[in-house]
Amino acid sequence: MARQLSFATEDERSIASGMAERRLGAQKRLLASAKPMVRRMLVQHHAKHFMGRRRDGTYARTFSLDDLKIDARDPANVRIQFNREEKLPEGFREGDKVPRRHVEHVSDIFSAVRTLAHISDRHAKELASANGDLAVVERINAKLAASVSRLSDKDAISSARRELEAMGETRRVASAYKSLAAKKLAAAEECLKAFDMTGNPLLVSSACAVLTAFRNRVGEWRTRQIARIDAYEELRECSLRMRRDRYLEALFAGYGKSFYGPNAKTAFCDMVHEMVLCEELARFEEQLPRGRGWEDMARTHIHAIAKDLPEGIIRDNLRAAYRMAKRANKDKFLAFMRGIARQLQVRDPRFIVEELQKSGEEYLDSAIGELKYAIGYINYQMPKDAARHFRFASEAIRR
């Protein structure tokens, strides 16, 4: 919030400054204490220790993915459990338990790491926004507190009421804590409106008390909640990043090894074929009509893709998709086809380069450079040179 409220006296400025100092000090303490608290809770639940990796590539002590409610056994279908707030029921009051539901997020391992990383980024923006709101409320609160001793200054109280009315943006947020906070702002407004009509000084004191409750709700309470969520999600992010890096390290080392020896030509041809198939599956959804008739078109495309494939899991899945298209459940069918595409994408060097670049993790720059060289040599049909750079990429990730 960019609104500014001028101070009529030094008392108002001093009161607001004290409020801001206490808020920022409490925020700092809550953020610092959350990580050891979350770790203790996981240890009490017998979570197994695991070595993870931070965004800068340094190693961090964390916990196993199973204990952190992540299933990453299949890099193409990583499943992360989240607890989401549901819509607040009618009559919801402060102190009531906020209704939540379990949600499962399914994606490839690269998107999954970014999803966890974005949580803390989003919370940092929320805290910055909340601090702006709180600074305004603190100034309003200070103005009212100073006005209690000089109730004849009705202009100052009216100015504070207008500032409260201007904070409509805060009230449109649907989460539980902001919904309750918005009710407190509305209650403070009602107190000041009643004061305008009656002149009762107790109403100004009541407005001050309500604004203090607002600051506690949006400030300390929400900061504590964010700090605990971020501490937990950071552990999950570090563990999953390590799983991703170990997967890539083994994948590239395998490519580097398979392009040598008597079966090198076959292995190279299989990779090129997989890359072509990956492109076809990526375009599959775009080729289907939006309305009726998609079923026949889908079966035609699947038949064309699968006819030259060797027996294996991809062909088996395409057979299942062919049968699924007959049942005309398009959403379920497309979700299944995306899953097949992900199975190939997590092995495609081009897709991997794009995903790693999106992550913005600088320690991967060397590996990304080696992968680009490898892709170039694949395009020039030079498997041994590609193999060399795949090995370099594997070593760069391991460092």
Secondary structure percentages of the chain, helix, strand, coil, to 5: 70, 5, 20
User: What token pair was written down for 71?
Assistant: 């299933």
**Stretch 174-188: mean pLDDT:** 73
**Stretch 48-64: mean pLDDT:** 96
CA–CA separation, 52 and 238 (whole Å) = 5
The gap from C-alpha 158 to its chain's centroid, in whole angstroms, comes to 41
CA–CA separation, 399 and 385 (whole Å) = 22
Read off the pLDDT band of 169 (50, 70, 90).
low
Bridge partners of 103, per DSSP, are 82
Could you tell me if 130 and 219 are in contact, meaning their C-beta atoms sit under 8 angstroms apart?
A: yes
More confident position, 367 or 335: 367
336-359 pLDDT, tens digit each: 999 999 999 999 999 999 999 999
pLDDT value at residue 34: 95
User: What token pair was written down for 377?
Assistant: 């040599």
Residue 70 three-state SS: strand
**Stretch 108-125: mean pLDDT:** 94
CA–CA separation, 99 and 94 (whole Å) = 13
CA–CA separation, 3 and 142 (whole Å) = 16
Among 4-18, 94-108, 150-164, 297-311, the minimum mean pLDDT is found in 4-18
63 pLDDT more than 90: yes
Q: Are strands 78-85 and 100-107 parallel, antiparallel or unpaired?
A: antiparallel
**Stretch 245-250: mean pLDDT:** 97
pLDDT value at residue 1: 42
118 pLDDT more than 90: yes
129-157 pLDDT, tens digit each: 888 888 888 888 888 887 766 655 677 77
Average pLDDT, the chain: 87
User: What token pair was written down for 130?
Assistant: 């909340």
Bridge partners of 71, per DSSP, are 79
One-letter amino acid of 180: L
Could you tell me if 160 and 143 are in contact, meaning their C-beta atoms sit under 8 angstroms apart?
A: yes
Among 165-179, 233-247, 327-341, 350-364, the minimum mean pLDDT is found in 165-179
CA–CA separation, 205 and 200 (whole Å) = 10
Q: How many CB atoms lie within 10 A of CB 320?
A: 12
pLDDT value at residue 2: 44
Cα–Cα distances in angstroms (integers) from residue 298 to residues 276, 293, 338, in the given order? 18, 9, 13
195-217 pLDDT, tens digit each: 888 888 888 889 888 888 888 77
Q: Are strands 100-107 and 59-63 parallel, antiparallel or unpaired?
A: unpaired
Q: At what angle do helices 330-345 and 313-326 cross, to 10 degrees?
A: 170
Cα–Cα distances in angstroms (integers) from residue 357 to residues 2, 69, 341, in the given order? 34, 27, 20
Read off the pLDDT band of 161 (50, 70, 90).
confident
User: What token pair was written down for 17?
Assistant: 């400054």
The percentage of the chain sitting over the pLDDT mark of 90, rounded to a whole number, equals 43
> Which DSSP string do the residues of 293-357 spell out, in sequence order?
THHHHHHHHHHHHHTTPPSSHHHHHHHHHHHHHHTT-HHHHHHHHHHHHHHHHTT-HHHHHHHHH
267 pLDDT more than 60: yes
